[in-house]
Amino acid sequence: MAVLQEAEQTLPRAATPEEVGISSQAILDLLEEYDRQGLEYHGLMILRHGKVAFETYRKPYAAEIPHSIYSFSKSIAGTAAGFAIDEGLFALDSRLCDLFPEYRPARAPKGWDDVTIRHVLTMTTGLVFDVFHQSGAGTDWVADYLHSRLRDVPGEVYHYTNENAYLISVLIRRLTGLGMFTYLQPRLFAPLGIEVPFTEADQAGNPAGGWGIIWKLEDSARFIQCYLDGGKWNGQQVIPAWWAEEATKTQAENKANLKADSNVGYGYQFWMCRLPNTFAARGMFCQQGMAMRDHDAVFVYFGADADEQKPFEVIYPHFPRGFVAEGTAADAKTLQALRVKAQNTRFSAPPVAKRSPLEAQLNGAVLHLRRQHFLNAIGFPLSLLPMTVNQMSLDRAGYIDAVRLDFTQGEVQFSWQEGKDGRWQLSVPLGLDGAYRTGHVALSGFSFDTYSYAHWQDDSTLALHIRPIQSCASRTFTLCFGKRHVKMIPGSTPSFTSIAQNLNKLSYAYLNNNRLLCKFSDLCFGLAPSIMEAPLRGRLKRREP
């Protein structure tokens, strides 16, 4: 492997969008469209010809704060596979039965021995893995996946599966003795000027592969720009050129998917987009990086919407028509409006409500919650972490209990314990005076800064809003107080209802759009929010006088 120089620590910035041929008005229109559509974007960066033409962050999100990217991680795992193939560690046509011989089922179904790395990278192994089978730390995911049902002939049917990327992570360690990120450090991260990011890993130190990475928006931009430039960065060939080309063109058909930018082809852990010659890395809740080859442009986006299709629908009406001749004079008024918009994007100020007389009685009181036996049994215990985050965590949190409230003049300190054994003792401040409070939480292997507020909806109902800003989601708990008892109603953003609706649409492809099965899916996902975020009831133990 050739030794490559480390990249500069910041991307070059254009003085104005027009300098690199982008209309400031088109960007302003794009931002206003996000607002009209109600899309909660946390960061947006637009590049052209390798320069940043525009960027904005919704405060408290910021350039220096890393952010969960979910399945965008798959494109990074796919890149590790590209390096490994280029270096001869394995080939696209290497068979899993040769790479993982000890996992061969005693009665391997017909076709099992035909599954290859190419099938892994294109989501066409034919293996169908139940994601709800994951049970956190200690599970042998390789065995679970390779012993799952072989539903289709390998190579024939696309089926999106997280564990494909995890197999690459395990394989890199098996063949090199290095964790995937250690392997990628001199090959990808250092040359692109990306600090080795945080990632979830199993007990052996293997990154989850298909999710779990937390990095900065500019890291996404560098990664996508490198692929757009054929694997080059600052004139150096970083990613093998052949891989940068092959990974970002159609290698498998995914036409059964109903979403317009999810059914026009899949590469090696990259998505093709319906705009010609455009590809993307994509993560849950709209963590996206899109490259428009014909326009030498990159859009990277962090957000919080359940429907990954929405940002595409916002971009396309404004781009590529928003590209203009380079050096076009920028309209001063429009440019100023755009800069003001970029600098002042933030969440709305918290409401200021009348304080409840209950505070004196509740101050220092402890709330003990009843266990939700059904949700606990199926692996969905209530946590500060939104359900989608906690379900994908290797060290599962949850089982919130021993909730305590301590009121001061302008805020409330919310304290609680998590974990089956209560091993996490946590506390965050929430503003009650119309201002956010910042805090910190270390939970389930994650380290989050929090941005939070609370308000009384009425004299007996207190709403808590907690935003862990290294995640895309936020958490709400509504506490409804009685004389000796309390009801806690959990919620999140994106809402579980919107998540369920989106998952329902995605399930149609898995169900082969069978009309009867899709109706059953509608029923199940329609009921899911009331089950998965059911209120918890508990008793109050008030502080002794």
Q: Are residues 326 and 428 in the same domain?
A: no
Which range has highest mean pLDDT (80-94, 256-270, 343-357)? 80-94
Is residue 296 located within the same domain as residue 204? yes
Average the pLDDT over 366-381 and give the result: 74
Which of the pair, 410 or 9, is modelled with greater confidence?
410
Reported as half-sphere exposure (CB side, CA atoms, 13 A), residue 10 has a value of 6
Same domain? For 393 and 480 the reply is yes
pLDDT at 351 over 80: yes
- Check whether residue 334 and residue 420 sit in a common domain: no
Mean of pLDDT values over 378-397: 70
Residue that finishes a domain, picked among 341, 368, 390:
341
255 and 204 both lie in a single domain: yes
DSSP strand E in 266-393: where?
A: 271-272, 278-283, 287-292, 297-303, 366-369
In a domain, 316, yes or no: yes
Integer Cα distance of 174 and 31 in angstroms: 46
H helices of 322-369, where? Answer: 332-343, 359-362
CA 498, chain centre distance (Å): 15
Look at residue 501 and tell me if it is in a domain: yes
Residue 290: closest CA among 213, 219, 214, 228: 228
486 with 386, same domain: the answer is: yes
What's the average model confidence in pLDDT over 526-531?
65
From 308, 341, 374, the end of a domain falls on: 341
Domain of 425: which CATH number?
A: 2.40.128.20
Chain segment 270-321, per-residue pLDDT in tens: 999 999 999 999 999 999 999 999 999 999 999 999 889 999 999 999 999 9
Residue 404, number of CB atoms within 10 A of its CB: 18
Reply yes or no on whether the pLDDT at 120 is more than 90.
Answer: yes
Residue 289 domain-assigned (yes or no): yes
Q: Rounded to whole angstroms, how far apart are CA atoms 298 and 227?
A: 10
Of 197-211, 338-352, 388-402, 480-494, the least confident: 388-402
Would you say residue 48 lies in a domain?
yes
Helices within 366-431 (DSSP H only) = 373-377, 387-391
Statement to judge: residues 318 and 377 lie in one domain: no
What's the chain's average pLDDT?
89
Do 171 and 199 meet the contact criterion of CB atoms below 8 Å apart?
Answer: no
Q: Residue 347: inside a domain, yes or no?
A: no
Residues 308 and 387 grouped into a single domain = no
**Do 419 and 317 share a structural domain?**
no
Residue 492, domain extent: 359-541
Q: Are strands 67-68 and 213-215 parallel, antiparallel or unpaired?
A: antiparallel
Q: Of the given ranges (123-137, 427-441, 526-540), which has the lowest mean pLDDT?
A: 123-137
| 428 has pLDDT over 50 | yes
Read off the amino acid at residue 408: T
Instruction: Compute the distance between CA of residue 2 and CA of residue 313 in angstroms, rounded to an integer.
Output: 41
If asked whether residues 363 and 291 sit together in one domain, one would say: no
Look up residue 506 and give its two tokens.
């995605």
Residue 4 lies in a domain: no
Tokens of 381: 């215990």
Domain boundary among 341, 369, 393: 341
Cα gap 47→299, rounded to integer Å: 7
d(CA 291, CA 440): 35
User: How many domains are there within the chain?
Assistant: 2
Residue 468 is assigned to a structural domain of this protein: yes
Secondary structure (3-state) at 536 = strand
Does residue 517 register a pLDDT over 80?
Answer: no
- Could you tell me if 476 and 385 lie in one domain? yes
Q: Which residues contact 104 (CB under 8 A, 6 or more apart)?
A: 97, 112, 113, 146
Per-residue model confidence as pLDDT tens digits over 33-91: 999 998 999 999 999 999 999 999 999 999 999 999 999 999 999 999 999 999 999 99
pLDDT at 400: 86
More confident residue, 8 or 480: 480
pLDDT of residue 223: 98
The predicted structure's pLDDT at residue 506: 66
For residue 31, the domain's CATH number is 3.40.710.10
pLDDT confidence band for 523 (50 / 70 / 90) = confident
What does the pLDDT average to over 149-155?
Answer: 93
Which residues neighbour 265 within 8 Å (Cβ) at sequence distance 6 or greater? 249, 250, 251, 252, 253, 254, 271, 272
Residue of 122, 180, 62, 164 lying closest to 449 (CA atoms)? 62
Query: Within this chain, do residues 427 and 397 fall inside the same structural domain, yes or no?
Result: yes
Q: Looking at the domain assignment, is residue 11 inside a domain?
A: no
